[in-house]
């Protein structure tokens, strides 16, 4: 799902990549089509594709970026490493990406086409893919501002896809009704990374001195967040500090509740997140219950667990189904207040980490990527 909002400080974005405008066309083993910017959000696509690129050469194509008139029909090519390149097209529409592909891709016959969004389905005919994968991490057709034709594009993509992966059980149950080869791969976790919060790392200055308890969230702040619930709870608990880490998407600053005990810290790097979550007393997922959250399976659930933090969440279907034994589930501001009060009593949350251990030992991005590759290999025989 579109949740974690952090750019990976040492993995890709700061000094570890280069851009190029004069690279000759190259041969690629896999072309990935992604609606999420590689450098904006480090989540499912980055975790999986970076791992798969260790064994194959990958080009990830993003949606078109803004350009000046003299730049039309060019692209920004980002060299993440020798095996992983990101193409940011400067064209007027996704369909127009087809016109610039020969400038960057030498081979039309590509082993694998990997789609994160059906909006790229018009580009299927520009290639001769041996295997087409649809890794459905969100029900994008239900998101705010989704175009009506996205439904038809997804039907077309599903009809052409050989394998469909889903980012959660609810999505799996939905997609398996329309495809015969669907596999459920809920979002995983880099446990070692987030477990740094259990060690003696430094808490950042902009959170270290906030009044305790600190109830924190990291992720995109958009129409999926129940801002009314957050506001009502903050008003009821003026001595609790509520921290929201992440950029805004599809909502404005004016939409945010403003109280002295609600702190919006903006976007932080992937590497910094363990430091910030170390400063949380409680981690929260205050999602609204609406169309946009109907099928989500929040990646941050496992990341909070790896950091050893008590978790409060609204009743998202996949969270209720998978984690009701160790996540405090709420519906109202009153529920939220009660859960914070109870969890801040360390005795009440003392056994939670033991439950986390059992869950975390069964999931990792390494194992998820490896299992996906096994399925693709078996299909391709």
- Is residue 13 within 8 Å of residue 35, measured between CB atoms? no
d(C-alpha 343, C-alpha 328), whole Å: 9
Provide DSSP, 147-214. Answer: -THHHHHHHHHHHH-SEEEESSHHHHHHHTTS-SSEEE------HHHHGGGGTTPPPPHHHHTSPSSE
DSSP-derived pairing of the beta strands 328-330 and 311-314:
parallel
* Average pLDDT by stretches of 10, the chain with 381 residues: 38 49 89 93 91 97 95 96 97 97 96 96 97 92 77 95 95 94 94 96 97 96 96 98 94 96 95 97 96 90 96 96 95 97 79 87 92 94 69
Express each pLDDT in 139-182 by its tens digit: 877 776 777 888 999 999 999 999 999 999 999 999 999 999 99
Q: What is the pLDDT of residue 145?
A: 74
Predicted local distance difference test score (pLDDT) of residue 141: 75
- Residue 357 CB partners (closer than 8 Å, separation 6+): none
Helix axes 227-236, 333-344, angle to 10 degrees: 60
Contacts of 258 (CB under 8 A, 6+ apart): none
Cβ(167)–Cβ(185) below 8 Å: yes
Q: In the prediction, which pLDDT does 376 show?
A: 96
pLDDT for residue 42? 83
């Amino acid at each position: 799902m579109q949740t974690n909002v952090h750019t990976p400080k040492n993995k890709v974005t700061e000094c570890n990549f280069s851009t190029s405008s004069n690279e000759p066309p190259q041969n690629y083993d896999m072309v990935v089509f992604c609606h999420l910017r590689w450098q904006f959000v480090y989540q499912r696509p980055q975790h999986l594709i970076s791992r798969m690129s260790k064994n194959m050469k990958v080009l990830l194509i993003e949606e078109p970026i803004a350009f000046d008139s003299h730049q039309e029909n060019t692209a920004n090519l980002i060299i993440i490493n020798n095996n992983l390149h990101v193409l940011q097209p400067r064209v007027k529409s996704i369909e127009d990406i087809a016109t610039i592909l020969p400038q960057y891709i030498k081979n039309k016959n590509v082993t694998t086409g990997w789609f994160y969004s059906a909006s790229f389905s018009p580009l299927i005919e520009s290639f001769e893919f041996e295997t087409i994968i649809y890794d459905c991490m969100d029900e994008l057709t239900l998101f705010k501002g989704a175009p009506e034709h996205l439904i038809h594009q997804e039907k077309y993509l599903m009809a052409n896809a050989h394998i469909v992966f889903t980012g959660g059980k609810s999505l799996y149950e939905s997609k398996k009704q329309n495809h015969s080869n669907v596999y459920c791969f809920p979002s995983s976790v880099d446990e070692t990374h987030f477990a740094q919060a259990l060690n003696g790392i430094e808490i950042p200055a902009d959170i270290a001195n906030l009044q305790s308890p600190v109830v924190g969230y990291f992720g995109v702040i958009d129409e999926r967040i129940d801002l009314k619930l957050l506001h009502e709870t903050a008003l009821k608990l003026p001595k609790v500090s509520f921290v929201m880490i992440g950029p805004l998407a599809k909502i404005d600053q004016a939409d945010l509740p403003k109280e002295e005990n609600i702190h919006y810290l903006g976007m932080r790097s992937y590497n910094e997140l363990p430091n910030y979550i170390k400063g949380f007393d409680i981690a929260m997922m205050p999602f609204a219950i609406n169309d946009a959250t109907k099928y989500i399976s929040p990646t941050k659930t496992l990341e909070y667990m790896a950091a050893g933090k008590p978790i409060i969440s609204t009743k998202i279907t996949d969270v209720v189904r998978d984690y009701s034994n160790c996540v405090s589930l709420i519906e109202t501001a009153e529920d939220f207040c009660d859960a914070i009060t109870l969890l801040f009593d360390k005795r009440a949350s003392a056994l939670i980490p033991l439950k986390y251990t059992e869950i975390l030992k069964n999931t990792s991005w390494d194992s998820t990527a490896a299992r996906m590759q096994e399925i693709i290999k078996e299909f391709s025989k």
